[in-house]
Each structure stands twice: as C-alpha cells, then as structure tokens.
Amino acid sequence: MIAALAGCGRLLPSRTDSLNDPVEEFEHVTSSEMETSGGGTMRTSLRGDIRFDVDEEQLLDALDPVWRSVVEYIFEKDEGFGSRTVLVTAHGADGSTVEPRELLGSEVADQFGSLSFIHFFEHYGLA
C-alpha cells in the first residue's frame, strides 16, 4: 500500500537538500524551503518558499538567477520532461510575494491555475 501511495505522489513531500542548499548560497536569499513530490509520476510538483532580504522593487530581479538554477535542477532531475507543476512563492523582506510565473511574459504569467516547468524550460532556453 505504501509503495502505491508513494508512486502516486500521495505521501508527504520530502525536503530537497540538493536544491535548497545551493539556492541558499545566492545573493539576497535568506532561506529556501522547497520540496518535490510525486517522484516523477503523474502528479509531480515542486512546492515551497524562497525568502529574500530585498523589498518588492528588487524581488523579481533577485528571483530570476535563483529560479534559473532551480529550473536547470528540475530539467536534469526530470530528464527534460516538463510536466512538474510549480507551487513556489518568493518572499521579500517587506512581506511582499511574487510567483516565478511573473518572470514569464504576460501571456503565460496571467494564466490561472497550475503552471508546469515546460514554460520555464522554454524561457531559459532548455527545451
């Protein structure tokens, strides 16, 4: 039963130290708490939070190089298969928040619902 639940991504996500540790080395990042779920099956995601020491005006600029690194990590982890959903929020020191989708053009960023990594693979020239 546990194997079946793990395969469906229904178990609790696991901390992704091999991703969080390098992210925390970026300038302006104060903490990274992202987790993967689903183990490459139908319902996979990357969820969590990245906290920065910048305010709203600089938050998106600070997120961009960090997010590129995250996207490259997921590209390698998922062998270029971009269906993993993005459920990550960046937090500024002033309490502001942005989602990585705001790094994309407005056509994609303004879509409602979940967003998959394939959009970021294309944005960063990996696809």
Question: Which uninterrupted H or E stretch holds 71?
Answer: helix 56-77
Q: Is the pTM of this model over 0.85?
A: no
How far apart are the C-alpha atoms of 43 and 78, rounded to whole Å?
13
Give the residue extent of every domain in the chain.
Answer: 2-123
Kindly report the CATH number that applies to the domain delimited by 2-123: 3.30.360
72-116, pLDDT tens digit by residue?
999 999 999 999 999 999 999 999 999 999 999 887 767 777 899
